[in-house]
Every structure is written in C-alpha cells, then in structure tokens.
Amino acid sequence: MSASILTARPAHVEHYWEHGYAIVRGLFPRDEMAAIQAEARRIYQLGLQHPATWRHGNLLYEILPESFAGQRFLLQAHWIAWVSPLFERIRRDPRVLAVMEPLLGRDIKQVAQQIHWKPPGATRRSGYRFHQDLRFRERKEAFRDLMTAYINTGLAIDPATTENGCLQVFPDSHRLGYLGLSDDGPIMKGTTQADELQRAGLQPEKVVNLELEPGDLALWGLLTVHGSEGNRSAKDRAFLIQSYTPAANADEDRGEWAFRQGASMPLGDTPRLCKYEQLHEKPGPFYVESRWYE
C-alpha cells in the first residue's frame, strides 16, 4: 500500500461525507493504465461481435445497433471479470480496499461492475440523465445508513473531460433525500432539462464536472445526484464503474465477495446474483429483446 493512498484516505472520506462524492487522484499509475486501456479495447471488440444486447449470467454487452445509429456501438459491458483476468483482479485490488475500508469495513461485497463507453457517433444515447442510484435500490430512510449502504466507484480508463461527457455531480445533493429525477423512464435517453432540475430544488449552475485523468477514482453515494452529457469530442471515453456494499447488507445469495476480513476474494465457479433477478432461472446465454434506445 503506497504512502500516497494512506495520505489521501482521510481526505476522500471527509469529502464524501460532506459533499456526497470524492476523488482519489492517481490510484492506479500510468504504466498500469496502459494495460487496462488495452484490455478495455479488447473487451469492446468482444462486445461488437454481437448484433444486439447479449447476456450470459451477470456478463452483459449492451449494444446500440446499426438500425438506430447507422453503426454498431457497445455502450456498456457488465461483469467483465468473467472474461478478463485483469478486470477480475482490479475489482478486488488492495488499493480499492484502502479507499473503501474506512467507509464500508473489511467485509465487502461487489454488486456491480460495468465499463461505460461513449464512442464518437453515439452521442444521442451516450448521455445519462441526472438521477440518484437509490432509484435502483431499496429505499431506506436513514441518511447515514444510505451513505454507506452502497458506494459507487468510477475509475477513469480514458481521460474524462467536459467535452467527452465526464461524470457530473451536484455537490451536497445527498442531503436532499430522494428527488425522483428521471423516474419517468430510461436514464440513457438524452440529458435532463434545467426546468426538471429546478423543480427538484437543484440549481443547474451548481453542477460539477469531474474531469479525471486515467487512474483517478471517483466515489459517490446512493443519494448523490449525478449524470453526464453525450460525447462531443472525437475520442472515446471508457469509464469503469464498480459498486460495493458491506457484506452484512447483502442477501446471502446476492453480490460477489470482493474482500473478506480484508483478504482479496476471487470469483467462484458460479456467478452470484447481482442485478439480474432471473439469473438462476434464465442464466443464458441469450439476446435481450428490449429496444429501449427507440
């Protein structure tokens, strides 16, 4: 564990509690990021082999097809650890534990792993409307319980800039309760209009663009209002989202172990239930028929 991580740890915890998000700069060094970038490109090509969204267990490739965009794009890949030894190690890297332990403890399960791409040319469906992740989880009321019930981390694989659609957050929005933003439909259909934000008590000019260099890690909580715009640049933006919860909060059958008493835990032989509720009844592989993008 590097001295820089030990120094950064108290600062990111304090910022997370105060503002609902935090950034740890340089968690993974540049020499490691080159291999991570190459592996992300390999996974992107794996996903493009499928003509439509495809699922096998927790592994999923979300495809924006030619019929909508004129070209096939991969927008998301879930649980790539099942096809990538490198990303299997990253999800339970000791440096991740150093960041998460002050917030979640030493027994931690992982409930999501996703790479989000924003390929040039897929602008109409590469933005994410502002929302709170509590929309996808059990809506408990206790503020402190929610802040440490489930934490998202986002590792910048490529540079994340305002122009290519970096993560945006509303500081201190975690103190406002659940606002119901974007509850009327999918979050990957355009961007949130200013009047919707204002009705929820948010001032659009207060939004913060989390510009990140490869290797930087962002954190945000279930109540933190966040979203992003589409990619307006000529370069892709790959972003690794990994979500963690204290093991005591997870159902016995839900979530993959990441750390057990501080020890890094590899995947087992069989996927554990994460987001896909029908995993055991319909493990796949199969193509998903939803045409959400229309």
- Contact partners, residue 133, CB within 8 Å, separation at least 6: 150, 152, 220, 221, 222, 224, 243
Average pLDDT over residues 259-271: 96
**Host domain of residue 137:** 3-28+82-275
Average pLDDT over residues 23-37: 97
Q: What is the Cα–Cα distance from 248 to 138, expressed in whole angstroms?
A: 15
Q: What is the Cα–Cα distance from 17 to 140, expressed in whole angstroms?
A: 18
Average pLDDT over residues 278-282: 87
Which residues are bridge partners to 218 per DSSP?
A: 23, 154
Q: What is the Cα–Cα distance from 84 to 78, expressed in whole angstroms?
A: 12
Q: What is the pLDDT of residue 123?
A: 65
- Contact partners, residue 292, CB within 8 Å, separation at least 6: 186, 188, 189
Residue 130 pLDDT > 80: yes
- Per-range mean pLDDT, top range of 29-38, 140-149, 195-204, 273-282: 29-38
Residue 158 located in a structural domain: yes
Instruction: Characterize 38-77 residue by residue with b for buried, 16 or more Cβ atoms within 10 angstroms of its Cβ, and e for exposed.
Output: ebbeebbeebeebebbbbebbbbbbbbbeebbeebbbbbb
Among residues 264, 283, 263, the alpha carbon closest in space to that of 272 is found at 283
Residue 77 located in a structural domain: no
Residue 215 located in a structural domain: yes
Q: What is the mean pLDDT of the chain?
A: 90
Q: How would you class 135 by CB atoms within 10 Å of its CB: exposed for 0-12, middle for 13-18, buried for 19 or more?
A: middle
User: What confidence category does residue 118 fall into, taking pLDDT thresholds of 50, 70 and 90?
Assistant: very high
10 Å Cβ neighbour count for 243?
22
User: What confidence category does residue 6 fall into, taking pLDDT thresholds of 50, 70 and 90?
Assistant: very low
In this structure, what CATH number is given to the domain that contains residue 259? 2.60.120.620
Predicted TM-score (pTM) of this structure: 0.92
Residue 225 located in a structural domain: yes
Average pLDDT over residues 24-37: 97
Phi and psi at residue 243, in whole multiples of 5°? -120, 135
pLDDT digits (tens, 9 = 90+) for 234-253: 999 999 999 999 999 887 78
Residue 67 located in a structural domain: no
Residue 69 located in a structural domain: no
Domain count, the chain: 1
Q: What is the pLDDT of residue 188?
A: 66
Residue 54 located in a structural domain: no
Average pLDDT over residues 162-190: 87
The secondary element (H helix, E strand) that includes residue 114 is strand 108-116
- Describe the crossing of helices 94-104 and 3-19 by its angle, rounded to 10 degrees: 40
10 Å Cβ neighbour count for 177?
15
- Contact partners, residue 194, CB within 8 Å, separation at least 6: 204
Q: What is the pLDDT of residue 182?
A: 80
Residue 186 pLDDT > 90: no
Higher-pLDDT residue of 51 and 280 is: 51
Q: What is the pLDDT of residue 121?
A: 77
Average pLDDT over residues 134-159: 78
DSSP letters spanning 136-185: GS-----HHHHHTT-EEEEEESS-B-TTTT--EE-TTGGGS----TTTTS
Q: What is the pLDDT of residue 138?
A: 57
Q: What is the pLDDT of residue 37?
A: 98
Residue 64 located in a structural domain: no
10 Å Cβ neighbour count for 283?
15
